[in-house]
Structure 1
Amino acid sequence: MPSADRVTVLEASGVGPGGITRVLTELARHWPAGHQLRIVAAPADWEVPASAAAVSVLSAQSGGRAATITGAAAALRRATAAGSRVLSLSPSLAIRGSRAPVTTIMHDLAFRLWPHGLSPAVLQYRRLSYRTAVDRSARLLCVSARTRHDLLGVYGVGYHRTAVWHPGSDLSTAPGRSPVTGEKPYLLVAGHAAHKGVELAIEAAGLLTPYEIVVLTGGKPDLWGPPRPGVRFLGRLTDAEYAAAVAGAAAVLMPSHFEGYGLPAAEALRLGTPVVISPDPALLEATAGAAVRMTTWTAEALADAVRAAVAGPRPATAGAGRSWQEATDHLVELLGPVATPAGG
């Protein structure tokens, strides 16, 4: 039987559509041989990557949020009976079931600092789950220096309990033919949530008539209203379709009002696609200065930045971020030996 330090129980009850799903998939794909990864509350339709070694699913999400949390907490209690370490991919009440020290990944504090578009029920759950993560996690890993700073400012969590962990940005699937067809070149917008600033891209469509605005909605094509001239909404894409859509775009736009990191921007730069970002500091961190930055949050500023981005040479591939193998190895290093929880 492997030692506790070589067994990680990954709690995934907070994983749904969006970037965190990719984090789960890539960590499983690159988890080091000789270290077991046991997943609790995996998304119902998620599958272990074919190339993954020593990865097993102990339980899956089922029913609504309450049922998922209850089931995850019970599965976590069973899985940690003999020790091991626990990694929670995002704040969750389910970690109350853990008998072992927990490390939680903190993606952003948007629910406190930019809560627009979130229902009262979602806001209440996030208040509870983030408070639980802060109080019960031995360590908190922040996907950006911005999130680490926000955690200090909002919750008073000192830097001795936190560290910065950047996700990987390389895509495991080589891009093929883009799923976006049409006569015009297109500008791709990550747009599965209100904080993504999609309304700015839609407004800018009239200023960018040589291009079509294509919005990735993460399976929610009605999120931004009905289709309109110059704007197209796409539903959920496979990994291969996503890579092809990013690689084939004239530019990828992230006019976000708030980000914890901004993974699509880093992924686009790795594929050699120009990127436009808002003034959000996390996006600047994720792109390491290789993207064109809007001067403010307006359609006019977005259109100006797009023109600057497409006028220059396409960025060199692998120009931002790091590989998922490097990111996974760093995460395993940060998890370290099993330790005693730090408390609040």
Structure 2
Amino acid sequence: MGGAARVRRGAMRFGVERRDRPASERRAERGGTGRSPARRRCVGRPIAKARGMTHSPLRVAVPLGGTDRGRSGLGTWVQAVLPRLARRLRARGGELLAIGTPRDLDAYAAVLGEARPETLPAALDRAGASAGWHLAALGRLARRRGADAVLLPAANRRLSLGGPPTLAVVHDLAELHVRGKYHALRTPYVEHVVPRALRRAAAVVAVSGATRDDLVRHAGLAATAVRVVPNGVDVERFRPGRAPAALRAELRQALGFRGPFVYYPARLELPGKNHLRLLEAFARAARAGALPHHLVLTGSDWGAWARIDARARELGVRERLAWLGRVDAAWVPALVQEADAIAMPGLFEGFGLPALEGLACGTPVACSDTGALPEVVGELGVRFDPRSPEDMARALATALTHPVVRRRAAEEGPAWAARRSWCRTAARLDALLEEIAVAPGKAVAA
């Protein structure tokens, strides 16, 4: 099949309808007013006000263990939600207690201005020790500090038994879909410990419908017991346009080339992030359509760079591959704006925030048709089978060359992304925290 035919076939897949979802979830996705979240105040009347609840000052304990210290999508969630939630609590005379080791607290220091820090021993930086401490001791510490509720931001990794009512946020159960994604001991923990602990939580939140479905299927929770509170996007940072000229020049100097590129922002992790198949697809698309693009990667190396580098050389595309490592946060919106397309080939994503950030900038997105990505991009993303380099190459060519795909991303993408705001995410969590604090002991139904 020639390059033009592949693009036509991709265009046919472009308009696939999204999966049916409950009306309540569609209303939440629309964000109510339709106004840009940049114009809404993060501190305001809690969502629960409409339910006739009274609002008293709350002290909420938030452990930072297992959140990757800001170096992943989960870390981005912490950086975005915690300062907004802390401001909401403070406005009502409450307080957010941020619990972590010195490394945890240092990593999030820039966003914890309204929170009160609680320092744990550095020995708890070890993953096993941290998971054990959270299960056995977090609840007691939170109770001693007078917490009314505990928000667990990484409940698929760190859970608590006992203590104040807990709101458990689950980002994904990806290790159940991608064998070998993490350390061998982690899968039994997710399969056996996590479900039991979640059933004892006062409330459970999933960041996507896909994660909710996994919790129902694998953790034995009732679908009605899991609230979907989607991630948001910072539309002040991710928006159409271009970065200042000085930043673009700095960026291009680091890249080492001046031509167009496809951008994949993800840690270098195999097999989960699927870089090797992306390289194969990129090589196919470049050969079939004589595309002039480079492929730009950012993210920390989780032991995969040597294999990625070797495979790029085998495919003859090493000179068109640029890896910048973990970049400054200011560079990421500029990279998304400058890219001709965002690639999201992960085998399974619990949300896939870069896809939403791409649409916020009006940049076309080619993404896997697995996990939460279909609901994140809706009809505006070009989807592919992440295990098929051929299908991935077709989607990349479509995102890079098809005029309808590119026009819709530019015209409709920013408004689509703006429906999900971090302020709204924080407001919904705030309402749930008050709900469980005023009705303690009410666990989710199994």
Q: How does 1:111-190 map to 2 (within 5 A)?
A: 111-170=175-234, 173=237, 175=243, 176-177=247-248, 178=251, 180-190=255-265
Contact 2:173 2:190 in 1 (8 A): no
What's 2:160 paired with? 95
Structure-2 separation of matches of 1:39 and 1:4 = 20
What's 2:266 paired with? 191
Q: 1:267 to 1:183 in 2, by over 3 A?
A: same
Q: Please give the secondary structure, in 2, of the residue aligned with 1:56.
A: strand
Q: Please give the secondary structure, in 2, of the residue aligned with 1:116.
A: coil
Q: 1:318 to 1:262 in 2, by over 3 A?
A: same
Task: Tell me the alpha carbon deviations over residues 146-201 of structure 1, each in whole angstroms, 9 at most, x when there is no partner.
Answer: 11111111122002321101011125546542453413311111332332222221
Q: Which moved more, 1:61-70 or 1:235-244?
A: 61-70
Structure-2 separation of matches of 1:23 and 1:212 = 29
Contact 1:40 1:60 in 2 (8 A): yes
Q: Which moved more, 1:194-203 or 1:34-43?
A: 34-43
How far apart are residue 22 of structure 1 and its match? 0.6
The one of 398, 423, 427 aligned to 1:308 = 398
> Are 1:48 and 2:145 an aligned pair?
no
Q: 1:61 to 1:120 in 2, by over 3 A?
A: farther
The one of 58, 61, 66 aligned to 1:6 = 58
What's 1:207 paired with? 284
Q: 1:296 to 1:64 in 2, by over 3 A?
A: closer
Q: 1:171 to 1:258 in 2, by over 3 A?
A: same
Using structure 2 for the length normalisation, give the TM-score: 0.69
Greater fraction helix: 2
Higher relative contact order (CA 8 A, sep 6+): 2
What's 1:261 paired with? 351
Letter in 2 for 1:331: L
Gap runs ≥5 in structure 1: none
Structure-1 separation of matches of 2:61 and 2:181 = 33
Structure-2 separation of matches of 1:243 and 1:249 = 10
Percent identical across equivalent pairs? 23
Structure-2 separation of matches of 1:120 and 1:180 = 36
Task: Flag the structure with larger Rg.
Answer: 2
How far apart are residue 283 of structure 1 and its match? 0.4
What's 2:416 paired with? 319
Letter in 2 for 1:342: A
Letter in 1 for 2:429: L
Q: 1:145 to 1:182 in 2, by over 3 A?
A: same
> Are 1:276 and 2:335 an aligned pair?
no
Letter in 1 for 2:128: A
Letter in 2 for 1:315: A
Q: 1:289 to 1:154 in 2, by over 3 A?
A: same
How far apart are residue 53 of structure 1 and its match? 5.7
Structure-1 separation of matches of 2:260 and 2:303 = 21
Q: Please give the secondary structure, in 2, of the residue aligned with 1:119.
A: coil
Q: Please give the secondary structure, in 1, of the residue aligned with 2:218.
A: helix
Structure-1 separation of matches of 2:395 and 2:63 = 40
Q: Please give the secondary structure, in 2, of the residue aligned with 1:120.
A: coil
Contact 2:61 2:147 in 1 (8 A): no
Q: 1:273 to 1:224 in 2, by over 3 A?
A: farther
Structure-1 separation of matches of 2:215 and 2:84 = 28
Q: Please give the secondary structure, in 2, of the residue aligned with 1:39.
A: strand
How far apart are residue 269 of structure 1 and its match? 0.9
Letter in 1 for 2:379: G
Contact 1:170 1:324 in 2 (8 A): yes
Q: 1:108 to 1:71 in 2, by over 3 A?
A: closer
Letter in 1 for 2:280: E
Letter in 2 for 1:153: R
Q: 1:281 to 1:117 in 2, by over 3 A?
A: closer
Tell me how many residue pairs correspond in the alignment. 340
Q: Please give the secondary structure, in 2, of the residue aligned with 1:277.
A: strand
Q: Please give the secondary structure, in 2, of the residue aligned with 1:49.
A: helix
Structure-2 separation of matches of 1:83 and 1:124 = 31
What's 1:59 paired with? 119
Q: Please give the secondary structure, in 2, of the residue aligned with 1:289.
A: helix
Q: 1:340 to 1:128 in 2, by over 3 A?
A: same
Letter in 2 for 1:68: S
Contact 1:41 1:68 in 2 (8 A): no
How far apart are residue 334 of structure 1 and its match? 2.5
Q: Which moved more, 1:72-81 or 1:238-247?
A: 72-81
Letter in 1 for 2:149: R
How far apart are residue 93 of structure 1 and its match? 4.8
Provide the aligned C-alpha RMSD in A: 2.6
Using structure 1 for the length normalisation, give the TM-score: 0.88
Structure-1 separation of matches of 2:117 and 2:182 = 30
